[in-house]
Structure 1
Amino acid sequence: MSQPDPDFEALLHHLKQTRGFDFTGYKRSSLVRRVARRMSQVGVTEYGDYLDYLELHAEEFTALFNTILINVTGFFRDPEAWEYLRTEVLPALLAGKGATEPVRVWSAGCASGEEAYTLAILLAEMLGPAEFRDRVKIYATDVDEEALAYARQGTYSEREVAGVPDELREQYFEQLGGRFTFRKDLRRSVIFGRNDLVQDAPISRIDLLVCRNTLMYFNAETQARILARFHFGLSDPGVLFLGKAEMLLSHGATVMPVDLKRRTFRKAPRTAPQNGTLFADPLPVVVRTAPDGLDLLRDEAVLASPLAQVVLNADGLIAVVNRQAEVLFGISTRDVGRPFRDLELSYRPLELRRHIEKALEERRTVRITDVTYNRGPEVVHLEVQVSPLANGDVEPLGVSVAFHDVTDFRRLQDELEQANRQLETAYEELQSTNEELETTNEELQSTNEELETMNEELQSTNDELQTINDELQDRTGELDRSNDFLETILTSLRAGVVVVGPELVVQVWNHQAEELWGLRRDEAVGEHLLNLDIGLPLDQVRPVVRGTLAGDDGPQEVLLAAINRRGRSIDVRVVASPLRGEAGAVVGAILTMEEAAGVEDVVVR
């Protein structure tokens, strides 16, 4: 296994110290993956930087916990398992209770409450609503306060209650708009509260404990601690209902499988192991004529036994040592007749004298398991059986001490347990990843719905813009036609027309003005009127234009001598009229210039 990252462990310690969430018992692979996912969302790559980010942004804790505590749940999730619970487990559980005896259920790791309310529906269907309210208490716990707050409301969307059969949804939920609320009278029997399975004490006297797809997030050591708490909390016989990712193949001392396929287990009894049967008490003696050489045959049978065996007489002296005992412990027939207490074997590999005394006193076989014997570099695992030897009901003749070498069995058992743990871990990791993918899929579906809504809004906006564009095109066409019409009018006039603004900047210069003065439109428009180089004495036009811009009544007229574009002297009549805008305000002046024949004097009016 890879060494833990100290920066990551420091982050977990900070979460435990500041927020009371202890994630140190969670599996590091899935935990690292989820924290990394949240870090990528806020644009942080180092655990130390993310720790600083958490200290600066208190709201980030909620987002992080929601990412770590994947609340993937639903009503009647894995229907086959719930059907087995309804048809097999709950009827047997209720049959073992008195008619008025309370039924206590614990939903551990309840997330947003769907699982707890599913239990309420099943029990209410079996007992009836009235008896359910009187007898049943469902304790629903989780470490996520936000999920618990949502669960207490008991209100879910149409998509969240999709797993509830139609007839049950109509019977146990009240619909308001697009939301479904669990019946208030039954909701009082479902009690939500915070409980950390790793740190907090378990709820006691539980008949049914439901903890689905929660243990798989913890490492093996933490799982064992939680299961010990579950064992304490369950009544006898209590039922444990787990998720499909949790097989508990290596926890036979705590729970026993009822149906491994549906992940239902029963509390294992805490009883002492039964005595071994390798050396049973001797059968009643039947007096028969002994065959010849029977004593020699018995001696050889003991000496050739595959089990190491030492036989003591009633005085505690060694009577028999077989060949396997010689090989295993180094004692031999030379030790026959010696007091057993003088041998190293009497206290190594374990203290045998008190077990011998117990076997003689109680007249029964005493079995000692899990004995480890270091024979040089080799470690031998033994099971020891101490059997009293008696002739009927008289005083014991002695005691037989047999040593069974279970090293190979123990090794195979350890390998099997390790393989089971690896299988459980791999399966739990697969299920955890699957739930993360389910969460991601739900987020993607939500994002897709938002994008579809946004696309519809954009399409609507596009249609509006298209309508506005069509209107603008129509108005542009009208404006172009108006401009063309105005241009036609200006071109058709015999007089030169010039339009100036308040600052005497030329805005319009028609074709006839070009013909009079030889200055093109693009050369005149945008220039100051008095700066134009034409054959018209503009300094004499200035007072007329100024008067018009000042708002003098009526048009201003002046007759001036000028030189046209051909260099010929002409008389020009210049008439200035005000150009009025909104509310009648003067915004410019319109000058019409037309050649006047037969005028000899300059007249100003």
Structure 2
Amino acid sequence: MPGDEHEFDDLLLMLKETRGFDFTGYKRTTLMRRISRRLEALKLRDHGEYRDYLEMEPEEFNRLFDSLLINVTAFFRDPAAWQTLRETVIPSLLASKGPGKVVRIWSTGCATGEEAYSLAMVLAEELGMDEFRERVKIYATDLDQKALQTARAAVYGERQLADVPEELRRTYFEPVEAGFGFRRDLRRQLIFGRNDLTRDAPISRVDLLLARNTLMYFNSETQLSIVRRFHFALSDPGYLFLGKAEMLLNHGDRFEPVNLRMRLFKKIGSPPPGSRATWSPGAGVSRARPYVRHTVLQAAALATGPVAQIALDRSRNLALANSRAELLFNLNPRDIGRPFQDLEVSYRPVELRSVIEQVELDLRVTELQDVTWHRPNTPEPSVFDIAVVPLLEPGGELVGVGVNFHDVTRYRQLHDRLEQTNRELEHAYEELQSTNEELETTNEELQSTNEELETTNEELQSTNEELETMNEELQSTNDELQQINDTLNSRSDELKRATLLVSSVVRSLGDAVAVVDTDLRVLVWSPGAEELWGLRADEAIGCRLASLDIGLPVGELLARAQRMLEAEAEPGDGRGDGVTLDGVNRRGRPARLNVEFSRLHADDMSPHGVIMVMNLLRQDQQERD
């Protein structure tokens, strides 16, 4: 639809202005088909929405270019064509260069580099390793920077090297971490770079140019421009190697086929200056001799000639006309001697008076070609080639002017029909070529899709393997957690037993036990203390002893506990004296207690706190006291 066509053109303009990629020279049907795949993948309706999406998601540019720049290639693609190149072109090329001369090669649209490295192997086999390193320089170019990075790395997997013969594979590739790498000592002879065939200058003085399945993506106008660049880039002699879907039907003046079936062509050099034959005016034109004797034979020959002829004397009067001229221009014997300007033939089929005047001045033949004359009562126009010839006497003096009318109508009609046939044939060839290129493009798209599916399958396989690995790792982690859990349970049981032991020890020390740290904060508050003073352990632990609301004179306890902490500790000395205090238990009843103080210290004898053991005094003991 017109609206969609306009949006598609806007999209191409955006790609050119924002990313520097000019796709206007590419085949429109191929571009629309590739971009439609992106629209389907993104669930977008038209090119306008896709243009807005590109502005919001810059990463989509990379995915779009990967789709448009179809990087389908392989080592020794079309083996029969490579065999012909190896047996026919390479020997001729090296022989024409001579020993020691540098061989320059250009691989256009090289994608990930398989084609360039294939050519390197062919030349290395032909020249030998040392001579290859000294003489060969291979330039490989493409638009896709990501593909060029892969080509520069020169590392390929098992699947990509499947078409490389085993002997060549062992000779030119070395095992590396990610696959197989091309030999580094030969890799230096290959130079990879970005080149836009539609805009950038071509590499010059190239002996062999490979453009395999590259031209078929461009329209006919762009193909013509690129082929002209190729012709300029090639030296003489230079060879062009195309893909099986590409031809040079309209470039017979630039390239001649070496092997048409294998798409191998040779450059036709320009002719050296001055080699063309010069055109001599008046050559082949019979010059009328002056003062001829009007014999019967001469008169008969002139009258019955197939070419209409008339002659004028020096006064520009009609001197003679043969039968053909009389019939053609309706002349009769009474017109002999009349001024030429009074006759219809002077201006029809073409103005001749000025031409005759110029011939009389220059004394040179003047030819008027393809003069069309629409004669009355004739359905088709007549076409003439007219020659106006100066008639000179032997001394070189002008005696008159002859006019010859060559009827070339039949030849012109044949020529027009031939041109029409050639145009139709050329159009048919172009349609056939376009169809062939479309088929090859579709084939490469299918191959690209197949490779994408294979890549997706490999990614799924890799993902499955990763999930399996993660499952095993989780299983291992689960086993470790189980061991840690068992250890924790064991430590918990030990802690529980230690806690029970400590609780038993604490309960065994006295009726109530409290332990404070160096800041006189409660660390231990025994169940007996809870029962005696009515304060739970979670309420007492962590609080300062001075802040506890219990039925004892806390000040006395604090003073004695502080003295215990400040007194210098000696080995074996950790127990202090006791004190008897009166208090009130949680029920409000008076209680008399004996409180004993002991220092809590570590192995280095530094004080860590104070242990206070409280025992209720029995009634008889109270009475005794």
Per the shorter chain, which TM-score range?
A: 0.5 to 0.7
**1:283 Cα deviation after fit:** 11
* Cα-to-partner distance string for 1:561-594 (whole Å, 9 max, x where unaligned): xxxxxxxxxxxxxxxxxxxxxxxxxxxxxxxxxx
- The aligned residue for residue 197 of structure 1 is 197
Any idea what SS the aligned residue of 1:208 has? Answer: strand
* 8 A Cα contact 2:244 2:262, kept in partner: yes
Distance 1:300 1:399, change over 3 A: same
**Counterpart residue number, 1:442:** 451
With over 3 angstroms needed to count, the CA separation of the structure-2 counterparts of 1:322 and 1:82, relative to structure 1, is farther
Question: CA–CA distance in 1 between the matches of 2:174 and 2:325?
Answer: 77
Q: Distance in 1 between matches of 2:147 and 2:302?
A: 73
Deviations 1:281-316 (A, max 9, x none): 4899xxxxx99856535643424xxxxx77888989
SS in 2 for 1:302: coil
Contact 2:325 2:331 in 1 (8 A): no
1:276, 1:367 within 8 Å by CA — same for their partners in 2? no
Q: Distance in 2 between matches of 1:142 and 1:464?
A: 44
- Determine the structure 2 residue equivalent to 1:184: 184
Partner of 2:29: 29
* Shift, 1:200, TM fit: 1.0
Matches of 2:388 and 2:172, distance apart in 1? 64
- Normalised to the residue count of structure 2, the TM-score between the two structures is 0.60
* Number of the residue aligned with 2:262: 262
What are the residue-to-residue correspondences of 1:256-295 with 2, within 5 Å?
A: 256-271=256-271, 281=284, 293=297
Q: Residue in 2 aligned with 1:411?
A: 420
Residue identity in the other structure for 1:436? E
Letter in 2 for 1:62: N
SS of aligned partner of 2:266: strand
- Structure 2 unaligned blocks of 5 or more: 288-293, 475-625
**Residue 434 of structure 2 corresponds to residue 425 of structure 1:** yes
Aligned residue runs from structure 1 range 340-419, under 5 A = 343=347, 402=406, 403=408, 404-405=411-412, 406-419=415-428
Structure 2 match to 1:600: none
* C-alpha distance in structure 2 between counterparts of 1:221 and 1:12, whole Å: 18
**1:300 aligned residue:** 304
CA distance in 1, matches of 2:149, 2:371: 53
User: Unaligned 5+ residue runs, structure 1?
Assistant: 285-289, 304-308, 466-605
Residue type of the alignment partner of 1:199:
R
Distance of 1:96 and 1:325 partners within structure 2: 64
How has the CA–CA distance of structure 1 residues 417 and 460 changed in structure 2, closer, same or farther, with 3 Å as cutoff? same
Q: Is the 8 A contact 1:390 1:398 kept in 2?
A: yes
Tell whether 2:161 aligns with 1:154. Answer: no
- Give the structure 1 partner of residue 519 of structure 2: none
When the two chains are superposed, the root-mean-square deviation of aligned CA atoms in Å is: 4.9
Q: Which residue of 2 aligns with 1:56?
A: 56
Cα separation, 2, equivalents of 1:394 and 1:115: 74
Q: Is the 8 A contact 1:341 1:353 kept in 2?
A: no
Deviation at 1:190, TM superposition (A): 1.0
Residue aligning to 2:230: 230
The one-letter amino acid paired with 2:33 is R
Relative to structure 1, the CA distance from residue 459 to residue 148 in structure 2 (aligned partners, 3 Å threshold; closer, same or farther) is closer
Name the counterpart of 2:585. Answer: none
Counterpart CA distance in 2 for 1:99 and 1:230 is 25
Show the counterpart of 2:167. Answer: 167
CA distance in 1, matches of 2:191, 2:368: 48
CA 1:49 to 1:167, structure 2 compared with 1: closer, same or farther past 3 Å? Answer: same
**Which amino acid is 2:22 matched to?**
D
TM-score, scaled relative to structure 1: 0.62
In structure 2, relative to structure 1, the CA distance for the partners of 1:408 and 1:47 (3 Å cut) is same
Summarize the Cα distance change of 1:313–1:33 in structure 2 as closer, same or farther, 3 Å threshold: farther
Give 1:554-569 correspondences, 5 Å limit: none
Report the equivalent of 2:78. 78
- 3-state SS of paired residue (1:24): coil
How has the CA–CA distance of structure 1 residues 338 and 268 changed in structure 2, closer, same or farther, with 3 Å as cutoff?
Answer: farther
Task: Please give the alpha-carbon distance, in whole angstroms, between the structure 2 residues aligned to 1:86 and 1:331.
Answer: 71
Spell out, residue by residue over 1:10-46, the C-alpha distance to the aligned partner (whole angstroms, 9 max, x if none).
1001001111111001111111000111221122221
1:221 Cα deviation (Å)?
0.7
1:208 is aligned to 2:193 = no
Residues 82 and 344 (structure 1), Cα distance of their counterparts in 2 relative to 1, 3 Å cut: farther
Q: 1: CA distance between counterparts of 2:149 and 2:48?
A: 31
Whole-Å Cα distance in 2 between the matches of residues 231 and 462 of structure 1? Answer: 61
Question: 1:43 aligns to what?
Answer: 43
| Cα distance, 1:78 vs structure 2 | 0.5
User: Residues 385 and 401 of structure 1 are in contact (CA less than 8 Å); yes or no, is this contact kept in structure 2?
Assistant: yes
1: CA distance between counterparts of 2:35 and 2:358? 55
Q: Give the total of aligned pairs.
A: 446
> Kindly tell me: are residues 187 and 463 of structure 1, through their superposed partners in 2, closer, same or farther at Cα, counting changes over 3 Å?
closer
* C-alpha contact 2:374 2:382 (8 A) present in aligned 1: no
What secondary structure sits across from 2:106 in the alignment?
A: strand
Cα distance in 2 for partners of 1:134, 1:291 equals 82
SS at 1:431 equivalent: helix
**CA spacing shift, 1:202–1:337, aligned 2, 3 Å:** farther
CA distance in 1 between partners of 2:93 and 2:357 (Å): 45
Q: Which of structures 1 and 2 has the bigger CA Rg?
A: 2
Per-residue deviation, 1:256: 2.4
Mapped contact 2:239–2:267 kept (Cα < 8 A): yes
Residue 133 of structure 1: how far off its partner (Å): 1.8
Partner Cα distance (1:352, 1:245) in 2: 54
SS of the equivalent of 1:139 reads: strand
In structure 1, C-alpha distance between the alignment counterparts of 2:227 and 2:285, rounded to whole Å: 42
The verdict on how the C-alpha distance between 1:97 and 1:53 changes in structure 2, with shifts beyond 3 A counting, is same
> Sequence identity of aligned pairs in percent?
45
Task: Tell me how far apart the structure 1 counterparts of residues 426 and 266 of structure 2 sit (CA, whole Å).
Answer: 20
